[in-house]
A = this chain, B = another copy of it.
Amino acid sequence: MYNFTIELDQNSKKPLYTQIYEHIADEIRNGRLEENERVPSKKALSAHLGVSVNTVETAYEILAQEGYLRPVPRSGYYARRVIAPQLSSTPTVFEEKPTESFAADFRTAGADVSSFPYSTWIKLSKEVMYQNPELLNHGGFKGDIELRDSIAKYLREFRGVHCSASQIITGAGMEYLVMLLCGLSGSERVFAIENPGYGKIDLILKNSGRKVRYVPLDEKGISVKELERSGADTVYITPSHQFPSGTVMPIDRREELLRWADEKPERYIIEDDINCEFCFLKRPHTAVQGIYGSKKVIYLNTFSRVLAPSVRIAYMVLPPLLLRLFEKKFSRYASTVPRFEQRTLARFISENYLSRHLNRVKNIYRKRRDTLIEAALSSDYPIEISGEKAGLHLVLKSPRASEILKKAAENNIKLYSLDDYYFTPRENPSNAIVAGYAGTTPEDIALLRSRVLCGNA
**Partner-B contacts on A (CB < 8 A):** 18, 21, 58, 61-62, 65-68, 80, 82-83, 85-87, 91-97, 109, 111, 113, 116, 118, 122, 125-126, 129-130, 133, 135-140, 145, 162-167, 172-173, 175-176, 179, 183, 186-187, 199-200, 203-204, 207-209, 250-252, 254-255, 258-259, 281-283, 285-286, 291-295, 304, 308-312, 320, 323, 329-341
Give 15 pairs: A residue, B residue, CB < 8 Å, sorted on A: A58-B282, A66-B250, A66-B251, A83-B255, A86-B292, A87-B162, A94-B166, A113-B136, A122-B129, A136-B310, A136-B311, A137-B309, A176-B176, A304-B334, A312-B336
Most buried by B among A203, A281, A286, A336: A336
Instruction: Verify A323–B94 contact, CB threshold 8 A.
Output: yes
A132–B294 Cα distance when bound, in Å, is: 41
Instruction: Kindly list 12 other residue pairs between chains A and B, CB separation below 8 angstroms, not including A111-B137, A172-B336.
Output: A65-B250, A83-B258, A85-B292, A92-B320, A172-B172, A175-B334, A176-B336, A187-B187, A209-B209, A304-B334, A309-B334, A310-B339
A56–B286 Cα distance when bound, in Å, is: 20
Query: Which residue of B116, B137, B208 is within 8 Å of A308 (Cβ)?
Result: B137
- Residues on B with C-beta less than 8 A from A111 are 137
- Residues on B with C-beta less than 8 A from A179 are 179, 183
Instruction: Verify A91–B162 contact, CB threshold 8 A.
Output: yes
Instruction: Verify B339–A336 contact, CB threshold 8 A.
Output: no
A200–B332 Cα distance when bound, in Å, is: 7
A96–B139 Cα distance when bound, in Å, is: 13
Instruction: Verify B164–A172 contact, CB threshold 8 A.
Output: no
Q: Which residue of B lies closest to A389 (CB)?
A: B65
Q: Which residue of B lies closest to A282 (CB)?
A: B62
Instruction: Verify B173–A251 contact, CB threshold 8 A.
Output: no
A199–B332 Cα distance when bound, in Å, is: 9
CB distance from A343 to the nearest CB of B (A): 10
- Residues on B with C-beta less than 8 A from A58 are 282
- Residues on B with C-beta less than 8 A from A118 are 133, 136
- Residues on B with C-beta less than 8 A from A138 are 109, 309-310
Also in contact, A65 and B137, with CB within 8 A (given A82-B251, A259-B83, A341-B338): no
Instruction: Verify A87–B293 contact, CB threshold 8 A.
Output: yes
- Residues on B with C-beta less than 8 A from A339 are 310
Instruction: Verify B282–A65 contact, CB threshold 8 A.
Output: yes
CB distance from A103 to the nearest CB of B (A): 18
A21–B281 Cα distance when bound, in Å, is: 15
Instruction: Verify B61–A282 contact, CB threshold 8 A.
Output: yes
Q: Which residue of B lies closest to A145 (CB)?
A: B96
CB distance from A135 to the nearest CB of B (A): 6
CB distance from A342 to the nearest CB of B (A): 9
CB distance from A255 to the nearest CB of B (A): 5
- Residues on B with C-beta less than 8 A from A334 are 173, 175, 304, 309, 312
Q: Which residue of B lies closest to A148 (CB)?
A: B96
List the 10 closest A-B pairs by CB distance, nearest first: A67-B251, A172-B336, A94-B166, A136-B308, A183-B207, A172-B172, A310-B339, A93-B164, A138-B309, A113-B136
Q: Which residue of B lies closest to A156 (CB)?
A: B91
A166–B90 Cα distance when bound, in Å, is: 13
CB distance from A295 to the nearest CB of B (A): 7
